[in-house]
Structure 1
Amino acid sequence: MKPTREKVHASRPQPSGRAGETRSAQRAEQRSTPANAGLRQSPSPERPIPSRRQGSLPAERLPVILEVLPNEDYALLDSGDGQKLEKYGAYRIVRPEGQAIWRRALGEQEWQKADAIFTGDTDEEGLGRWRFPKRPLGETWPMRHDGIDYLGRFTSFRHVGVFPEQATHWDHMAGLIEKARRPVKVLNLFGYTGLASLVAAKAGAEVTHVDASKKAIGWARENQQVARLTDKPIRWICEDAMKFVEREERRGSRYDIILLDPPSYGRGPKGEVWQFFEDVPRLADLCRSILTPKPLAVVLTAYSIRASFFAIHAVMRDTFAGMGGTVESGELVIREKGAGRALSTSLFSRWIAP
């Protein structure tokens, strides 16, 4: 899913402030926002909000807009009227898109060429259904990103096993790994179907992939086989992300790059409840505690939350106070092939070591 593009609407990194200024659950495949998701929850005794760290704040770059552009493997063909028309490999797919409040640019004949449409209808278990106008399709089909083969997948929550806007983060991470010229350990929390883990492994990193869904872990392992990367060092762990990081801290395990891609709300394998606003500050602080002495980056992505990127930007700058480097924050967007409009998919904030 290349090429990608970065736009920075700031002249240069801003200097940090004066010295002294200063879980997880199953990845919610539906990326939906419950009615109370934007409300500040009272912290639980087991997961208190960490104290603010002291030291100079990292430099900052914002807003940064990371774009995914159309290519042979993936393209946003058109959007509007609450839907989007995408091309995933050989298939054209229509799915709901609440942010597409504008009108469609392409004619109806182009939309009628769709191979799969998520109808929004539900079966007896409340899961969404797909309609295949031309011919019945299997659950999976071959896809590729930057030479890595994997499987697209029609899920009951309208998603297709990959979030293409993340390609900009994957490319950035791969560059850091390759430039390090040393062994690099990557922790991928809320790893879903494993594309980020495969990109990191291909670039030469030792990867630990954590997700609370057994089904998602199974899909990720299948993608590793499809990608012919079974010889690469990837640990697949089905567990609550917060509990895993807490245990890694006690064990003294350390990582050079940490990816955080949490849902707004979800549940872990043992009923653990994840609330983004309640739990992100603590999880980010724990991630700082399991970084190596010479870390490379920590990347946080936020979907379906009622907040500006300034909120997670402030969390990340506070979290990495005293460590130098730069915090970049903004939005991940996908650029349309036809009309050229930008569809915003999520917020992000990433700390990059000095």
Structure 2
Amino acid sequence: MKPPREKRRDARPRPNAAGRDRRRSGDAAPSHGLGSAPAATRPNPEAAQAVKPRARRSGTLPAETVPLILEVTPNEDYALLDSGSGEKLERYGPYRIVRPEGQAIWARALPEADWNDVDAIFTGDTDEEGMGRWRFPKAVLGETWPMRHDGIDYLGRFTSFRHVGVFPEQASHWSQMDALIRGAGRQVRVLNLFGYTGIASLVAARAGAEVTHVDASKKAIGWARENQEVARLGDRPIRWICEDAKKFAEREERRGSRYDIVLLDPPAYGRGPKGEVWQLFEDLPDMVDLARSILTDRPLAVVLTAYSIRASFFAIHALMRDSFAGMGGRVESGELVIREKAAGRALSTSLFSRWVGA
């Protein structure tokens, strides 16, 4: 996958284009993923009132870049071929797939014949024979199938929640992380919280980092470990930990364990393996503060991605700048988008904010 292009835009940003439907806490089945979540608006008053007052950190705020649009374009591994009428037509390697996309409110650019010439369609129907909610117009495909990102092999899955185990827009963050690790000139430790199927962990490990991958779902951890073997990276140092992400970070802080890069990709709502409840607007401020607390004395980055939340990226941008006051560096915030091949339209998938050290 070619490195994504970065575009700065002067136009006023629109509210968050919502994204995924997957639960990173408690189940491998996604619940805040690419798809049909409505376009976001500002948080509702009830959510705002639930947040406890917090003391601001002192110090000069980091420099800022807003809005920053990180863009993934079509390549041999993945392409958004077309979109419209509430759906998207994608290509993963040789396979063409149709899935729901609530934000695609425009008309399709390709003719109906192109949309019918596909290998898998997510229908949403219940299949009593166990394959879930997919239809295979050509030949029945197995539950798992080979995929690749930038030379890293891994397994896709036709899950009953319309997801396939990878979120291509994240390539923007993966490319930056790879460069930071390779350019550090020293051993780098990466903590991947809410790690899901592990593609980010594999990218970091291939670049030479020691990786700790945390997810509350045993199924997701099993899938991620399987991906490590498929990628032929079994000899790379990756710790796979099934635990509530916040509890793990709190324990690492007490132990004095420190990391150079922390990845945060939390759900809007989720549950941990012991019934822990995650509410993004309530828990994210503490989570970001914890991420700062477990950084080394030569930190490289903290990357936050937020899907399916009713907020502008300015909300998480302000949170990140306040949280990293006195640390120097820069906070860059905006949206992750995928550039469509057929008509060149940009499909926004999520908000992000990342602090990058000086």
The answer to whether TM tops 0.5 is: yes
Report the CA distance between 1:244 and its aligned residue.
0.3
What amino acid maps onto 2:79 in structure 1? A
The 3-state SS of whatever aligns with 1:55 is coil
Q: Which residue of 1 aligns with 2:26?
A: 26
> Quick one: structure 1 residues 50 and 24, their matched pair in 2 at CA, closer, same or farther if it must change by over 3 Å?
farther
The 3-state SS of whatever aligns with 2:124 is strand
**1:64/1:330 contact within 8 Å kept:** yes
Q: How do 1:189-200 residues align onto structure 2 when only pairs under 5 Å count?
A: 189-200=193-204
Paired with 1:351 and 1:138, the residues of 2 have a C-alpha distance of 40
Q: Normalized against structure 2, the TM-score is what?
A: 0.90
Residue 334 of structure 1: which of 329, 335, 338 is its match? Answer: 338
Report the CA distance between 1:124 and its aligned residue.
6.9
Paired with 1:122 and 1:93, the residues of 2 have a C-alpha distance of 18
Paired with 1:106 and 1:201, the residues of 2 have a C-alpha distance of 39
Q: How do 1:73-112 residues align onto structure 2 when only pairs under 5 Å count?
A: 73-112=77-116
Paired with 2:115 and 2:129, the residues of 1 have a C-alpha distance of 29
What amino acid maps onto 2:133 in structure 1? R
Query: Is 1:135 matched with 2:139?
Result: yes
**2:43/2:310 contact within 8 Å kept:** yes
What amino acid maps onto 1:214 in structure 2? K
Q: Which residue of 2 aligns with 1:160?
A: 164
Report the CA distance between 1:2 and its aligned residue.
2.5
Paired with 1:89 and 1:126, the residues of 2 have a C-alpha distance of 25
Q: Which residue of 2 aligns with 1:270?
A: 274
Extract unaligned runs of 5+ from structure 1. Answer: 11-22
Q: Which residue of 2 aligns with 1:19?
A: none
Residue 179 of structure 2: which of 175, 178, 195 is its match? Answer: 175
Paired with 2:53 and 2:131, the residues of 1 have a C-alpha distance of 35
Q: Which residue of 1 aligns with 2:57?
A: 53
Paired with 2:342 and 2:4, the residues of 1 have a C-alpha distance of 17
Query: Is 1:248 matched with 2:248?
Result: no
**2:77/2:150 contact within 8 Å kept:** no
The 3-state SS of whatever aligns with 1:350 is strand
What amino acid maps onto 1:231 in structure 2? D
Q: Which residue of 1 aligns with 2:353?
A: 349
> Quick one: structure 1 residues 318 and 345, their matched pair in 2 at CA, closer, same or farther if it must change by over 3 Å?
same
Q: Percent identity?
A: 77
Q: Which residue of 2 aligns with 1:14?
A: none
Q: Normalized against structure 1, the TM-score is what?
A: 0.91
Paired with 1:319 and 1:127, the residues of 2 have a C-alpha distance of 45
Report the CA distance between 1:122 and its aligned residue.
3.0
What amino acid maps onto 1:31 in structure 2? H
What amino acid maps onto 1:29 in structure 2? P
Paired with 1:138 and 1:97, the residues of 2 have a C-alpha distance of 24
Extract unaligned runs of 5+ from structure 2. Answer: 11-22
What amino acid maps onto 1:234 in structure 2? I
**1:54/1:321 contact within 8 Å kept:** yes
Q: Which residue of 2 aligns with 1:304?
A: 308
Report the CA distance between 1:25 and its aligned residue.
2.5
Greater shift after overlay, 148-157 or 307-316? Answer: 148-157
